[in-house]
Amino acid sequence: MLIITCPFCGERNESEFSFGGPAGADRPDPTKVSDAEWVDYLTVVPNPLGPVQERWCHTRGCGEWLTIWRDTRTHDIVGGPDGA
């Protein structure tokens, strides 16, 4: 279980948060990409090794969105909220 530090509420259990996906993932315009590219965007989740920047929402807390860096190999949070 991850312990995520919310900048407003302090350290909280991962169960209070909702995963929002990788930070900076641009949503393509579905009218300008092929059907195959659109399906890939909706269904293929990138799974890189090492530190990744992720968005999380404190849904069972203050409701704020934050960005953290998490190492996918160890599941450790290696950078605080919003890259700090």
The hierarchical CATH code for the domain 3-83 is 3.30.2270.10
Burial class of residue 73 (count of CB atoms within 10 Å of its CB; 0-12, 13-18, 19+): exposed
Amino acid of residue 10:
G
The span from the CA of 37 to the CA of 14, in Å, is 32
The span from the CA of 77 to the CA of 66, in Å, is 13
Tell which residue, 73, 77, 18, has the closest CA to residue 53: 77
Question: Taking the domains of the chain in order of start, what are their residue ranges?
Answer: 3-83
pLDDT at 81: 64
pTM: 0.75
Mean pLDDT to the nearest integer, 60-80: 93
* Predicted confidence (pLDDT) per residue in 12-59, tens digit: 999 999 998 888 768 899 999 999 999 998 898 778 899 999 999 999
Residue 55 DSSP one-character state: E
